[in-house]
Amino acid sequence: MHDPVGNLYAALGEEKIRAMVAAFYKQVPDDPLMGPMYPKDDLSGAEERLADFIVGRFGGPPVYMEKRGHPRLRMRHNPFSIGELERDRWMELMTKATEEVDIPEEHRTPMLQFFYGVADMMRNRP
């Protein structure tokens, strides 16, 4: 089975992926919907965890797994009320982040499709 995001690390490099995540997190604190869902006292930790996860999922070193074990994404996100509105806002901010760091369209499309699938899976209400 072909994994459309499994080679993005090789195509983009770790620096570009981490820059994208940083661009996402720059938007979070002032966002009225996303801001309250993120730990104000550990925003840099949340950024590092997401970057580590994405790097590993896109074919880079499995740093996230080494530090935290299996992602257990649904369990870790369950304390938050996540519906379509939150999913769509997360996608909006992440899309802006991919544009800000100039992720090429050929890589942006599969990346955003992957992000949408994961974001939709995190929903725990309509």
Torsion of CA 81, 84, 86, 88, to 10 degrees: 160
Give residue-wise pLDDT tens across range 108-125.
999 999 999 999 999 999
Q: What's the CATH number of domain 8-121, 2.50.20.10, 1.10.490.10, 1.20.1530.20, 3.40.50.2000?
A: 1.10.490.10
CA dist., res. 86 & res. 108, Å (int): 21
Give residue-wise pLDDT tens across range 6-30.
899 999 999 999 999 999 999 999 9
The pTM is what? 0.94
Q: What is the mean pLDDT of residues 75-86?
A: 92
